[in-house]
Structures are given as structure tokens and as C-alpha cells.
Amino acid sequence: MTPGTVYLVGAGPGDPELITLKARRVLGEADAVVYDHLVDTALLELTRPGCERIFAGKKGGQACRPQVEIDGTLVRLALEGRTVVRLKGGDPFVFGRGGEEASALAAAGIPFEVVPGVTSALAAAAYAGIPLTHRLHSSSVVLLTGHEDPTKPDATVHWEDYARLKATLCIYMGVRNLATIAKRLEDGGMAAETPAAIIVSATTERHRRLLGTLGTIAEIAVVEKVEAPAMLIIGEVAAFSEKLAWFESARLQALAR
């Protein structure tokens, strides 16, 4: 039997309207969808009758199914001749393990395509009114994972180095290690007064925005009991959120009607 094609599809940051036209099309053509925890289940309604839905989500860093098992599921479904959508929050190739899944498919001789999605850093910043680049304030953006233990000797993210870049730092999965990350950025020379923002559940009905500075944002996260999913943005541009937070303004106006 000729293997089916696997589509590694980015579902975007949460709002189901932020998926691409191609993502919508392949969902409608799929025989099976393997989806993650952060995917809005409204997107599953775009599938045709009879499409098999398989949950393979991860929450809080705890895998519901081991990655090797997910890889195996994709290979098995494709070898059955089925068209498969692997539906992932954000973008498959930005902290989404899409590279691992693509490698497993390639090794098994399975044809695949990657359908990019709006990654969480871009969406969280946009909905919070934070321009990640600005002609007067920031000419570069860095996407980082905060999930890695910053205290381990062989850590691959050297926070002190990023403190010296004068870039906008977008930190995924950084809530648990936020206090240590903030301290190491300060140790690297980043001013404690540098604006910082946390956007929780960006673009969804649970969206909320917390503003502070590098020196205060960890304490704010504790007081506000911040939990994942949350995006941390550090840099001068974070201050724009005070005046440009259009999404929250629109929600408040809607509630006032």
C-alpha cells in the first residue's frame, strides 16, 4: 500500500481563526488527526465525518504519551494509506518537536509536508500591543525556551549572553524558572528596570496581560499565580503594551455594551 501523507500543521496560538487557509483545507481532507493539548477543539470540527481523532497532548511539561509513541502513531497511520494531520499549537518547528516528528517520518519513508502556524511569541506580542521590533527601540528578536533548567552545568541557553544583545527576548515555557532567568539576565548586565510582560493564554478568552520590569516580573508571576501557557517578553518594546493593548480594550468595550 502506498503510504499516506502526513501534514505537520501549526494550529496557531489559541484563537481558532488564526489558522491558515492551507491548515483548514488539509484538516478537511484528513482521515486522522493527532492533536495536542493546546489546540482549540473547535478546529476538530473542521474535519469530515469519520475522521479519527487521536489526543497526544502535553501539559505542564508532562507527556501524556511519549514522543517516540507519537512518532510511531504517525508512521503507522500513514503506512495504512491514510492522510494524517499532526495538529500542534503554535508553529510545528518552533519549540513544537516538529523536527523530531519530521525526522521520524523521513526515516520511515513517509511523505510529509509542514504547514506553518502563527507561533505564540508573535501572537502574544501582537494581542498585547507589543511590537517585537521598533525602529527606535529594537532591531532584533530572540526566541528562547525557558523550560531548560538554567542552573544545570551543561545548559544550552546562556542567559548572560542574551542580556547583552539589546534585543527583544521572547521566552517560551519560562514560568517555572522565571526567577532564576531574571537574575541571570541581570547578572549579564540587563538593567532591572527593563520593561517586561507576561501574556497568559494569549488570543483566547482566558487571555491576560501582566506588566512589570525584569526586576519585578518574577514576583508578579508568583502573586498572580501565573500558570502555563504563558509567554514572557523582555525588552524596551514591552512598555508599548501600556497604550497599545488593543485586544483587552476591545473586550472591555464589548462587556460595557
Q: Is 91 a catalytic residue?
A: no
Q: Which of 15, 22, 31, 58 is catalytic?
A: 58
State yes or no: is 161 an active-site residue: no
**Polymer length in residues for the chain:** 257
Q: Which three cell numbers stand for residue 88?
A: 500542534
Please pick, among 15, 31, 36, 91, the residue that the annotation labels catalytic: 36
Q: CB neighbours of 69 closer than 8 A, spacing ≥ 6? A: none
**Within a 10 A sphere around the Cβ of 1, how many other Cβ atoms?**
8
- Give whole-number Cα distances, 176 to 35, 59, 66, 167, in Å: 25, 13, 22, 23
Task: Return the C-alpha cell found at 184.
Answer: 541571570
What's the rounded Cα separation, in Å, for the pair 148 and 122? 21
What is the distance of C-alpha 144 from the center of its chain? 11
Q: Residue 5: which of 83, 70, 73, 79 has the closest Cα?
A: 83
At a CB cut-off of 8 Å and minimum separation 6, what does 96 contact?
10, 88, 89, 90
Read out DSSP for 225-247? T--SSEEEEESGGGGGHHHH-HH
Q: Report how far residue 113's alpha carbon sits from residue 119's, in angstroms, rounded to the nearest whole number.
A: 18
Residues designated as active site = 36, 58
